[in-house]
Structure 1
Amino acid sequence: MKKPDLPSKVCPVCQRAFTWRKKWARNWDDVKYCSKRCSGQRNMQSPVTR
C-alpha cells in the first residue's frame, strides 16, 4: 500500500488529520487520537491551540 492510499482520521482534540500506522494495525477501529498528548487532553474544554 502506498502512503497516499492509507486510511486516515481526524483527531477530535487538535482537529488534525492523521494516517494509519503499522503499530495501529490490530486496533485501527479503536484509535481516536493522533498522539498521547491529545489522548491526555481529551477532557479539556478547548482544543489545543498552536
Structure 2
Amino acid sequence: MNKSQLPRKVCPVCMRSFSWRKKWQRDWAQVKYCSKRCAGNKHQTKNEYIHDFAGKKKL
C-alpha cells in the first residue's frame, strides 16, 4: 500500500493530520492523538498549545 493511501486522522490538540502506523494496527480506532506530547496536552485548545510551544526554548 502506498503512503498516500493510508488512513488519516486529525489530532484534536494540534490540528495536524497524521497517518496510520504499523504500531497502531490493533487499535487504530482508539488512536486520537498524533503523539505522546499531544496526549499529555489533551485539555488545551489549539491556541493554548501553540502559545505554550512557541514560548519554550530548545536546549
Bigger relative CO (Cα 8 Å, ≥ 6 apart): 1
The correspondence of residues 4-19 of structure 1 with structure 2, limited to 5 A, is: 4-19=4-19
**TM-score normalized with structure 2 length:** 0.78
Stretches (4+) displaced over 6 A = none
Answer with 1 or 2: which has the greater Rg.
2
**Cα distance between partner residues in 2 of 1:7 and 1:14:** 18
**CA RMSD, 1 decimal:** 1.0
Structure 1: any 5+ residue segments left out of the alignment? none
Deviations 1:1-47 (A, max 9, x none): 11000000000000000000000000000000000000000012x22
Q: How many aligned residue pairs are there?
A: 49
Identity of aligned residues (%): 57
Q: Which has the higher helix share?
A: 2
